[in-house]
Amino acid sequence: MVTQSFLYNAIFFSYSIVLTVFYHVNGSAALYGIAFALGNLIGPFVLGPLFDTIGRKKMISTVT
């Protein structure tokens, strides 16, 4: 769990650096981070009830 969170945060927090340096996105790089943060917040609230009502096996088999 520690390794997973470390690697996730390394990618998540360096995303704005990649946008600024390689793709020359100036000033609005924080907006991309906000989109990721909102997705991380809304995702469990939307997918959680679906996993409970439809079923975990069906949901996982349709994703992969």
Determine contact, residues 15/33, Cβ cutoff 8 Å. Answer: yes
Instruction: State residue 64's pLDDT score.
Output: 57
> What mean pLDDT comes out for the span 23-50?
83
Residue 26 three-state SS: coil
Confirm whether pTM is higher than 0.85: no
Q: Which domain holds residue 9?
A: 2-63
pLDDT tens track for 37-51? 788 889 889 888 988
> What mean pLDDT comes out for the span 17-40?
81
Read off the DSSP letter of residue 14: H
Which contacts of 14-18 are long-range, i.e. CB under 8 A and separated by 24 or more positions?
A: none
CA distance linking residue 34 with residue 61, whole number of Å: 30
Confidence of residue 5 (pLDDT cuts 50, 70, 90): confident
How many domains, in total, are found in the chain?
A: 1
